[in-house]
Structure 1
């Protein structure tokens, strides 16, 4: 088996295969990815001080499908849209003041979490290995919770931050990680057969 044959047989980390697409595809991916992130923000369960949304699911999925570079850029573009007044944050919220309030830590964690999942997906923690994809999605969700709670701790103290900013979201993190891994598995393409 030659090197070129083994490369053709190796599955790409994402069914979208964006790393090999032209620039116009990547620009379109950023647009549609930020739209997907915005739509996920409207699916929420109100809680105090931070609502439960599908944002962490969407952030991890964008990272897994886009890779760490393009995923991070897409998530950053979505946050900039929110900071500049577009109603794309949780429940249609908008404005720069959200980046200094109780939810700021979670917002700043999103690019980190998405890029972490993208980095793992590029190394095989993707739909071709759903168990690893689940662990990667869970790590992504836990990064959001940890960074968000660290910011919250500066406002309300560590104990309250853990009880209000982590504990209520743990079951949801596991469910969203499982849903993300299942989504990646359903989207995974099999390796291309070698040319004869």
Structure 2
């Protein structure tokens, strides 16, 4: 069952945006994702970054369509060689190497977060937290499956999932808090005379 539209909280989603506004929104979102890629803890074969946190926020704040579009633009920038991926990487190599499954999952995770925000999940702490955990599972499952082609299933689970579980919980909690803060600020602005 779908929540009423009034229950949704997607502050960057607006059907009446001009093409210029959409381009600015997409560019700013892609820059946010690029900046999050530089916040990382080097690990082999997959580094821990703030990318999943940024992907979740982009989706939840921009809606499923714009969220996925922003992530696709960011990935295209990385594929073209711009240093916007984890640790300043760019080019074809990250899309062919051990991290490719994670990268491929990001548009789907952003779309899921936008979908849940459009249905009011981010208005409820428990549902929001669960949704952000599910979004990270959307990243970890294909990421580990692809990684398994390089290191085998056991090592993919050991090095591509297990080290990220605590971080997933922390990032989900941080995303819930961020959305709550943005919601309060946006609510205060709309209620101001």
TM-score, normalised to structure 2, is 0.90
* Aligned mate of 1:154, from 149, 160, 178: 149
CA distance in 1, matches of 2:115, 2:124: 15
Q: Rate the CA distance shift 1:20–1:131 in 2: closer, same or farther, 3 A.
A: farther
Q: Any gaps of 5 or more consecutive residues in structure 2?
A: none
CA distance in 2, matches of 1:177, 1:108: 20
1:157-172 correspondence to structure 2 within 5 Å = 157-172=152-167
Contact 1:59 1:110 in 2 (8 A): yes
Which residue matches 2:177?
182
Which residue matches 1:70?
66
Larger Rg: 1
* 1:27 to partner: Cα distance: 1.1
> Is the aligned partner of 1:132 residue 2:127?
yes
CA distance in 2, matches of 1:34, 1:56: 13
- The size of the alignment, in residue pairs, is 185
Which residue matches 1:111?
107
Moved >3 Å (runs of 4+): 17-20, 189-193
TM-score, normalised to structure 1, is 0.89
> Is the aligned partner of 1:141 residue 2:142?
no
With 46-55 and 136-145 compared, the bigger mean Cα shift is at 136-145
* 1:119 to partner: Cα distance: 0.9
Q: Any gaps of 5 or more consecutive residues in structure 1?
A: 1-5
CA distance in 1, matches of 2:92, 2:112: 25
More helix by share: 2
Which residue matches 2:40?
44
